[in-house]
């Protein structure tokens, strides 16, 4: 056990998303890149991963005592917060769900969107069990396939354990009850390909965190895997931010990529939790 709750923050995942935004379709399989820097003429930006993470923040803030209304606020906030950003990288089926005239039922997804947006529930939860339960609620509004629910639940559980002082052995044991982590980043780096499923993103993101030496190294490790870089780094960053804490200069830099509307949600959530 580490000594105490370390005051991590949901900005960890948002940093991973922004840093990874330029590498999603142009992978960079090494760790020596310029953090938040341009790549091949592309500028970093806050993609769907950041926007949906902040939607979940807003849903929690508005869910009422005991989070009784969370399912309803999750549907409403994802649709309301997300709609002004049609070109930020949504998957096709999520796009249709978000822009439909009336809210649609979940569509049995096991996409990695389940895991990239879920970290705020860990900050709201008083126990591991509550973090998992809240994760299932916000995940289930769209990603109600068992692998989607698992991706959300395990990511939230790891964030909760990390922010409550558990060490990497504990986090690894928890993750291994759900995923096979019998590989190293170095082993998979040459052959890992773009994959938008939880099954082929969440374990890789977890191992990137487990192998890291600090928050920055975790983000670099996640990008170096290749694949769906913004989402993989968002998931790794969510866990790493809770575990190591986030350097203040990274937090400030990430906030400079959020517009006033998104920044307001982040600030409100940070004050509440």
Q: Which residues bind Mg ion (CB under 5 A)?
A: 47-49, 89, 230
Q: How far is the CB of 16 from Mg ion (least distance, A)?
A: 10
Residues in contact with 137: Cβ distance below 8 Å, sequence separation at least 6, in sequence order: 67, 70, 71, 74
Q: How far is the CB of 271 from Mg ion (least distance, A)?
A: 26
Q: Whose Cβ is closer to Mg ion: residue 131's or residue 204's? A: 204
Q: How far is the CB of 91 from Mg ion (least distance, A)?
A: 9
Q: How far is the CB of 182 from Mg ion (least distance, A)?
A: 28
* Alpha carbon 116 to its chain's center: 3
Copy the structure tokens of residue 50: 């950041």
Which residue(s) pair with 111 in the sheet? 197
Q: Whose Cβ is closer to Mg ion: residue 13's or residue 89's? A: 89
* Alpha carbon 242 to its chain's center: 11
Q: Whose Cβ is closer to Mg ion: residue 114's or residue 161's? A: 114
Identify whether the C-beta of residue 39 lies closer than 8 Å to the C-beta of residue 28: yes
Q: Whose Cβ is closer to Mg ion: residue 71's or residue 93's? A: 93
Identify whether the C-beta of residue 138 lies closer than 8 Å to the C-beta of residue 118: yes
In the DSSP assignment, the letter for residue 44 is P
Q: How far is the CB of 250 from Mg ion (least distance, A)?
A: 19
Q: Whose Cβ is closer to Mg ion: residue 77's or residue 171's? A: 77
Please give the Cα distance from 156 to 190 (Å, whole number).
29
Q: What is the largest CA-CA distance in the chain?
A: 49
Q: How far is the CB of 190 from Mg ion (least distance, A)?
A: 24
Q: How many helices (H) and strands (E) does the chain have?
A: 15, 0
Expressed in angstroms, the distance from the first to the final Cα of the chain is: 22
The residue sitting closest to Mg ion, measured at its beta carbon, is 47
Residue recorded with tokens 């939790």: 273
Q: Within 10 Å of residue 185's Cβ, how many Cβ atoms?
A: 18
Q: Whose Cβ is closer to Mg ion: residue 49's or residue 132's? A: 49
In the DSSP assignment, the letter for residue 1 is -
Q: How far is the CB of 181 from Mg ion (least distance, A)?
A: 24
Please give the Cα distance from 269 to 106 (Å, whole number).
26
Q: How far is the CB of 257 from Mg ion (least distance, A)?
A: 13
Question: Taking Cα atoms as reference points, which of 155, 59, 79, 57 lies closest to residue 115?
Answer: 155
Q: Whose Cβ is closer to Mg ion: residue 96's or residue 129's? A: 96
Q: Whose Cβ is closer to Mg ion: residue 48's or residue 132's? A: 48
């Amino acid at each position: 056990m580490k000594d105490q709750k370390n005051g991590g923050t949901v900005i960890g995942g948002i940093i991973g998303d922004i840093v990874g935004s330029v590498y999603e379709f142009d992978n960079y399989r090494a760790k020596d890149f310029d953090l938040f820097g341009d790549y091949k003429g592309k500028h970093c930006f806050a993609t769907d991963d950041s926007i949906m993470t902040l939607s979940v923040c807003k849903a929690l803030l508005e869910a009422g005592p005991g989070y009784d209304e969370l399912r309803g606020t999750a549907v409403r906030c994802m649709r309301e917060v997300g709609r002004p950003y049609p070109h930020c990288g949504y998957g096709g089926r999520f796009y249709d769900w978000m822009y439909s005239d009336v809210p649609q039922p979940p569509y049995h997804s096991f996409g990695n969107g389940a895991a990239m947006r879920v970290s705020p529930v860990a900050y709201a939860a008083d126990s591991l069990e509550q973090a998992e339960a809240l994760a299932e609620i916000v995940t289930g509004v769209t990603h109600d396939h068992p692998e989607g629910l698992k991706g959300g639940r395990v990511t939230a559980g790891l964030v909760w354990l990390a922010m409550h002082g558990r060490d990497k052995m504990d986090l690894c044991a928890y993750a291994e009850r759900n995923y096979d982590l019998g590989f190293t980043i170095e082993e998979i780096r040459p052959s890992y390909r773009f994959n938008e499923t939880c099954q082929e993103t969440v374990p890789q993101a977890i191992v990137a965190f487990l192998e890291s030496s600090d928050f920055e190294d975790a983000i670099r490790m996640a990008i170096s895997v290749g694949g769906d870089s913004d989402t993989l780094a968002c998931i790794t960053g969510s866990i790493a931010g809770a575990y190591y804490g986030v350097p203040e200069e990274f937090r400030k830099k990430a906030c400079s990529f959020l517009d006033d509307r998104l920044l307001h949600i982040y600030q409100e959530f940070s004050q509440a939790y």
